[in-house]
């Protein structure tokens, strides 16, 4: 490594850690075992935390119960086994102010790590054990070995970075720090691929200072600004890749500009009588209700996409009950106006059937132009395609799709089979997209070019009622445009949510269910999640229904719905519940998504704390869909802290987006982002909750850079850096000119 020319990250990624002074074969292997092979890998191992030695506590002023860092020397050390057979290493450590005991359970190797004479930082909570101050299982950073070999004095300065030590690889934080420090020193200055104007605007420091600031801070304040710059870089790279991918897709796609008119959306019910205007106008004029402001806004976004020749890739997020189906329907009609078909895919048969019958109802007697028939018009043709159709029915639907006699098809996975072909597929709508994989989305989209007579790439709209925070959406679905319905239809009463813990409260719940039934309204009872198979869960739902019928709900008409039932049986039960032939539906979580029964006003969730927060919010969303006041009752006593937190969150908010943020906080972003992490995952420092603003900035900068210059116009330095984070195939797709 020479020290003159500024370093690119890509260069550092070609230099092996073996180049470092203290790294021989053994260390190289240890580092490799935790994924660190190059200088670049090392420099992006960030400190787990920093310890401000100026704020370090003295043993003379310890407070019991406090978490502190103590720099002390090991005076005595012994190891033994406890009565339960656990290994225990016990130390007495001291500084000038006094002494305390430190114990480690099940960490026999501490014995060798911390011989008498070692000086180390111990972090942990101070407790009182039989009148003596003690820390058990503290985090340890050895600063001065037995021989008194001082670590580089600059590193034992005021702010000490603590790296993730690896017991398995036999690497201490101290050693990691040493390697990183040497790497930094020898790397010298870093090349900075981010334009100065961007750095100025966002008040970000240069890259060289950032790497130094996080690894070798002079003072605490250095860390914050350093971190901010490095986090921005992580986000910028990710967003550049997403925006580029998106642009590449558009270049390689053959879309079509549908003949839609955004001003059609201004029509309100009853405001129009002429029958010769567009389908969208006629639909809105005859509709049961006026669009909400939010529905109108997202439809404008969608119509603008439809009118453009590039295919739409849009994610529509809207809380449960916000009216996404109407948005989908208006979009399908717009596409139909230019003579193209639409396909709506739902995750379950119950939902597909509900959508099909809802669409037929909402379309009423709308007619579409048809030059082949007398009078030039015919009724709209909506068909259902699920795995349950008999061969003959199925053949008829397939025939209609291929000839263009069917305008809208609603279905399940059955839409994806090879024999489904279209005349002219113009729009694909996917409901509850989290239930489908990316590949299934692609299969349906490819029906446009691959299985349609007119071979275009259809527009794609994916809908979800499981809101994810906007920041998470930018990371997870950054290659989709985002529309959000952030308003519920007027007149909805909030759903009164109560967490019932006492037997008397639970008794009132059942009394309420009975009262609603007497008034002609309906209730759901959701059975506890049961570990094991769907069969076990079904059995327990059957038992619960029987128990309720025998006791709390005696005399009511109570139906049962679970995942093990046959399709037609499920339909029959849903029909009975919809029509009012049943008062109560006892169900497993199969009813979680989408089911729309406006007369249902009570949702009882047993052992509610076992469900995830998003799931609970979905379940609650099954009621409150009509104008009557609705209630949601959460039963059960949580056995976990998180369970309690989820129930409190649900009682405290009705807003799916607020709950999604809370869910992110409770579960951590690991679970959420897990699916996305592949290849060389680049979000090492960034945290969505903490750094959301920077992410939004990075998105904007990425979009500006790409639209300004196009892929080929990005600076060579940036492209060079991005290549580090994608595999060869992806790089070819993104960067070849
Ligand atoms: P989502 O799929 O977003 O959960 P739906 O599309 O099922 O919501 O709509 C929920 C309920 O609200 C349905 O009964 C629907 O008919 C009704 N609805 C939708 N849009 C409106 C509106 N603008 N005004 C009044 N009711 C509406
Ligand atoms: Mg829906």
Domain count, the chain: 4
pLDDT above 60 (res 169) = yes
Checking 104-108 for CB contacts under 8 A at 24+ apart, the result is: 104/136, 104/137, 105/136, 105/137, 107/137, 108/79
pLDDT at residue 166 in the model: 67
The single residue listed with the structure tokens 């329907």 is 329
Rg over CA atoms, the chain: 31
Same-domain status, 67 and 132: yes
Determine the distance separating the centroid of ligand 1 and the alpha carbon of 542, expressed in angstroms: 32
pLDDT at residue 100 in the model: 94
Contacts of 587 (CB under 8 A, 6+ apart): 524, 525, 526, 527, 541, 560, 561, 562
Q: How far is 442 from 345, CA to CA, in rounded Å?
A: 12
Cβ–ligand 1 distance for 622 under 6 Å, the answer no
Confidence band, pLDDT 50/70/90 cuts, at residue 183 = very high
Interval 627-673: pLDDT, tens: 788 999 999 998 888 899 999 999 999 888 888 888 877 876 655 55
Same-domain status, 361 and 445: yes
Cβ–ligand 1 distance for 626 under 6 Å, the answer no
Interval 408-419: pLDDT, tens: 999 998 998 889
Confidence band, pLDDT 50/70/90 cuts, at residue 388 = confident
Question: Residue with the nearest Cα to atom 19 of ligand 1?
Answer: 323
Q: What is the CATH number of the domain that holds 137?
A: 2.40.50.140
- Side-chain-side CA neighbours of 10 within 13 Å: the count stands at 13
Q: How far is 451 from 423, CA to CA, in rounded Å?
A: 8
Interval 573-611: pLDDT, tens: 988 999 999 999 999 887 766 678 889 999 999 999 988
pLDDT above 60 (res 329) = yes
Q: Percent of the chain, pLDDT > 90?
A: 44
Range of the domain at 360: 260-306+323-464
Cβ–ligand 1 distance for 578 under 6 Å, the answer no
Same-domain status, 412 and 516: no
Same-domain status, 413 and 534: no
Determine the distance separating the centroid of ligand 2 and the alpha carbon of 355, expressed in angstroms: 8
Q: Quote the longest CA-to-CA distance of the chain.
A: 102
Question: Residue with the nearest Cα to atom 20 of ligand 1?
Answer: 323
Same-domain status, 146 and 181: no
pLDDT at residue 154 in the model: 45
The larger pLDDT score, comparing residue 537 to residue 1, is at 537
Cβ–ligand 1 distance for 324 under 6 Å, the answer yes
Residue 254 included in any domain: no
Domain boundary residue, one of 420, 443, 464: 464
Q: How far is 147 from 119, CA to CA, in rounded Å?
A: 10
Residue 602 included in any domain: yes
- Structure tokens belonging to residue 471: 């920041």
pLDDT at residue 665 in the model: 79
3-state SS track over 195-261: CHHHHHHHCCCCHHHHHHHHHCCCCHHHHHHHHHHHHHHHHHHHHHHHHHHHHHHHHHCCCCCCCCC
The larger pLDDT score, comparing residue 451 to residue 134, is at 134
Label residues 244-256 b or e (16+ Cβ within 10 Å = b).
Answer: bbbbbeeeebebb
pLDDT at residue 224 in the model: 95
For 710-714, what is the mean pLDDT? 69
pLDDT at residue 162 in the model: 80
Interval 20-75: pLDDT, tens: 988 899 989 999 998 899 999 999 999 988 876 655 677 887 888 877 778 889 99
The larger pLDDT score, comparing residue 134 to residue 251, is at 134
Same-domain status, 452 and 534: no
Cβ–ligand 1 distance for 292 under 6 Å, the answer yes
Is there a contact between 469 and 695 (Cβ–Cβ < 8 Å)? no
Residues constituting the chain: 737
Cβ–ligand 1 distance for 323 under 6 Å, the answer yes
Number of other CB atoms surrounding residue 563 within 10 Å: 16
CA dihedral 28→30→36→42, nearest 10 degrees, is: -80
Determine the distance separating the centroid of ligand 1 and the alpha carbon of 596, expressed in angstroms: 9
Residue 679 included in any domain: no
Same-domain status, 287 and 423: yes
Cβ–ligand 1 distance for 656 under 6 Å, the answer no
Pocket test for ligand 1, best of 489, 619, 621 (most atoms within 8 A of CB): 489
pLDDT above 90 (res 400) = yes
Cβ–ligand 1 distance for 596 under 6 Å, the answer yes
For 206-222, what is the mean pLDDT? 93
Cβ–ligand 1 distance for 489 under 6 Å, the answer yes
pLDDT at residue 658 in the model: 86
Determine the distance separating the centroid of ligand 1 and the alpha carbon of 524, expressed in angstroms: 19
CA angle 256, 260, 265 (to 5 degrees): 145
The larger pLDDT score, comparing residue 670 to residue 313, is at 313
The larger pLDDT score, comparing residue 230 to residue 2, is at 230
Same-domain status, 138 and 184: no
pLDDT above 50 (res 116) = yes
Q: How far is 600 from 623, CA to CA, in rounded Å?
A: 6
Determine the distance separating the centroid of ligand 2 and the alpha carbon of 109, expressed in angstroms: 56
Cβ–ligand 1 distance for 320 under 6 Å, the answer yes
Residues having C-beta closer than 5 Å to ion ligand 2? 594
Q: Which of 294, 415, 438 is nearest to 356 (CA)?
A: 415
Pocket test for ligand 1, best of 288, 323, 599 (most atoms within 8 A of CB): 323
Average pLDDT, the chain: 86
Ligand nearest to the CA of 289: 1
Q: Which of 607, 608, 604, 656 is nearest to 630 (CA)?
A: 604
The single residue listed with the structure tokens 């005696």 is 554
Domain boundary residue, one of 464, 488, 506: 464
CA angle 619, 620, 623 (to 5 degrees): 110
Q: Percent of the chain, pLDDT > 70?
A: 91
Determine the distance separating the centroid of ligand 1 and the alpha carbon of 325, expressed in angstroms: 7
Ligand nearest to the CA of 327: 1
Q: Which strands make up the sheet holding 139-144, listed edge to edge?
A: 127-129, 132-136, 98-105, 87-95, 67-81, 119-125, 139-144
Same-domain status, 546 and 438: no
Ligand nearest to the CA of 627: 1
Same-domain status, 292 and 432: yes
Same-domain status, 131 and 150: yes
Cβ–ligand 1 distance for 337 under 6 Å, the answer no
Same-domain status, 334 and 370: yes
Domain boundary residue, one of 414, 441, 464: 464
Question: Residue with the nearest Cα to atom 2 of ligand 1?
Answer: 324
- Structure tokens belonging to residue 441: 């989305």
Q: What is the CATH number of the domain that holds 378?
A: 3.40.50.300
Residue 702 included in any domain: no
Cβ–ligand 1 distance for 98 under 6 Å, the answer no
How far is C-alpha 32 from the chain's CA centre?
Answer: 31
Residue 78 included in any domain: yes
Interval 462-490: pLDDT, tens: 998 777 777 777 877 777 888 999 888 88
Q: Is the dihedral of CA 144, 150, 152, 155 positive or negative?
A: positive
Residue 473 included in any domain: no
Interval 671-693: pLDDT, tens: 555 444 443 467 888 888 789 89
Residue 583 included in any domain: yes
Question: Residue with the nearest Cα to atom 11 of ligand 1?
Answer: 321
Q: What is the CATH number of the domain that holds 180?
A: 1.10.150
Determine the distance separating the centroid of ligand 1 and the alpha carbon of 146, expressed in angstroms: 71
Confidence band, pLDDT 50/70/90 cuts, at residue 261 = confident
The larger pLDDT score, comparing residue 108 to residue 374, is at 108
Residue 601 included in any domain: yes
């Amino acid at each position: 490594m020479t020290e003159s020319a500024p370093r690119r990250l890509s260069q550092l990624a070609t230099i092996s850690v073996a180049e470092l002074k203290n790294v021989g074969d053994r260390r190289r292997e240890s580092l490799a075992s935790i994924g660190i092979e190059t200088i670049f890998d090392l420099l992006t191992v960030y400190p787990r935390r920093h310890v401000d030695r100026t704020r370090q506590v003295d043993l003379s002023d310890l407070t019991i119960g406090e978490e502190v860092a103590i720099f002390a020397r090991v005076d005595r050390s012994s190891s033994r086994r406890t009565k339960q057979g656990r290994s225990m290493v016990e130390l007495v450590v001291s500084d000038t102010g006094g002494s305390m005991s430190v114990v480690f359970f099940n960490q026999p190797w501490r014995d060798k790590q911390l011989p008498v004479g070692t000086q180390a930082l111990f972090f942990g909570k101070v407790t009182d054990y039989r009148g003596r101050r003690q820390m058990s299982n503290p985090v340890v950073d050895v600063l001065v070995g037995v021989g008194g070999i001082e670590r580089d004095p600059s590193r034992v300065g005021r702010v000490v970075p603590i790296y993730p030590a690896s017991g398995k690889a036999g690497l201490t934080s101290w050693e990691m720090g040493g390697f990183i420090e040497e790497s930094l020193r020898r790397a010298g200055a870093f090349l900075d691929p981010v334009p100065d104007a961007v750095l100025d605007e966002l008040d970000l420091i240069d890259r060289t200072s950032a790497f130094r600031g996080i690894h070798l801070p002079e003072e605490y304040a250095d860390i914050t600004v350093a971190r901010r710059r490095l986090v921005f870089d992580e986000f910028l790279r990710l967003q550049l890749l997403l925006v580029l991918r998106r642009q590449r897709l558009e270049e390689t796609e053959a879309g079509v500009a549908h003949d839609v008119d955004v001003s059609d959306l201004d029509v309100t019910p009853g405001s129009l009588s002429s029958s010769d205007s567009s389908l969208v106008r006629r639909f809105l004029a005859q509709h049961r209700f006026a669009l909400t402001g939010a529905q109108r806004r997202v439809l404008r976004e969608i119509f603008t996409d439809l009118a453009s020749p590039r295919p739409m890739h849009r994610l529509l997020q809207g809380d449960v009950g916000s009216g996404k189906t109407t948005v989908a329907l208006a979009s399908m009609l717009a596409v139909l106006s230019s003579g193209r078909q639409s396909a709506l895919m739902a995750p379950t048969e119950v939902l597909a059937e509900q959508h099909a019958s809802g669409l037929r109802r909402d379309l009423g007697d709308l007619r579409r132009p048809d030059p082949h028939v007398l009078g030039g018009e015919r009724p709209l043709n909506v068909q259902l395609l699920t795995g349950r159709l008999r061969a003959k029915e199925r053949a008829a639907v397939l025939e209609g799709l291929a000839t263009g006699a069917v305008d809208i098809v609603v279905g399940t996975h059955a839409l994806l089979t090879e024999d489904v072909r279209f005349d002219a597929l113009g729009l694909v709508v996917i409901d509850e997209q989290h239930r489908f994989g990316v590949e299934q989305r692609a299969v349906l989209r490819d029906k446009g070019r691959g299985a349609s007579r007119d071979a275009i790439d259809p527009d794609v709209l994916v809908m979800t009622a499981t809101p994810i925070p906007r920041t998470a959406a930018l990371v997870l679905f950054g290659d989709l445009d985002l529309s959000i319905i952030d308003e519920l239809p007027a007149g909805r009463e909030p759903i009164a949510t109560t967490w019932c813990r006492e037997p008397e409260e639970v008794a009132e719940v059942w009394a309420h269910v009975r009262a609603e039934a007497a008034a002609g309204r309906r209730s759901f009872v959701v059975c506890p999640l049961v570990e094991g198979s769907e069969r076990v869960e079904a059995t327990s739902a059957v038992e619960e229904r029987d128990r309720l019928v025998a006791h709390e709900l005696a005399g009511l008409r109570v139906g049962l719905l679970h995942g093990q039932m046959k399709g037609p049986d499920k339909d029959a039960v849903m029909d009975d519940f919809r029509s009012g032939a049943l008062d109560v539906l006892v169900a497993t979580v199969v009813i979680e998504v989408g089911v729309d029964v406006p007369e249902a006003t009570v949702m009882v969730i047993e052992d509610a704390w076992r469900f995830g927060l998003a799931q609970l919010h979905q379940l609650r969303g099954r009621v409150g869909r009509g104008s009557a006041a609705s209630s949601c009752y959460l039963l059960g006593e949580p056995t976990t802290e998180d369970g309690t937190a989820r129930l409190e969150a649900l009682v405290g908010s009705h807003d799916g987006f607020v709950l999604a943020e809370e869910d992110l906080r409770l579960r951590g972003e690991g679970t959420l982002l897990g699916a996305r992490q592949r290849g060389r995952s680049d979000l090492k420092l960034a945290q969505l909750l903490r750094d959301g603003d920077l992410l939004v900035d990075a998105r904007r900068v990425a979009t500006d850079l790409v639209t300004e210059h196009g892929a080929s116009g990005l600076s060579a330095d940036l492209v060079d850096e991005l290549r580090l984070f994608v595999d060869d195939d992806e790089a070819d797709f993104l960067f070849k000119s």
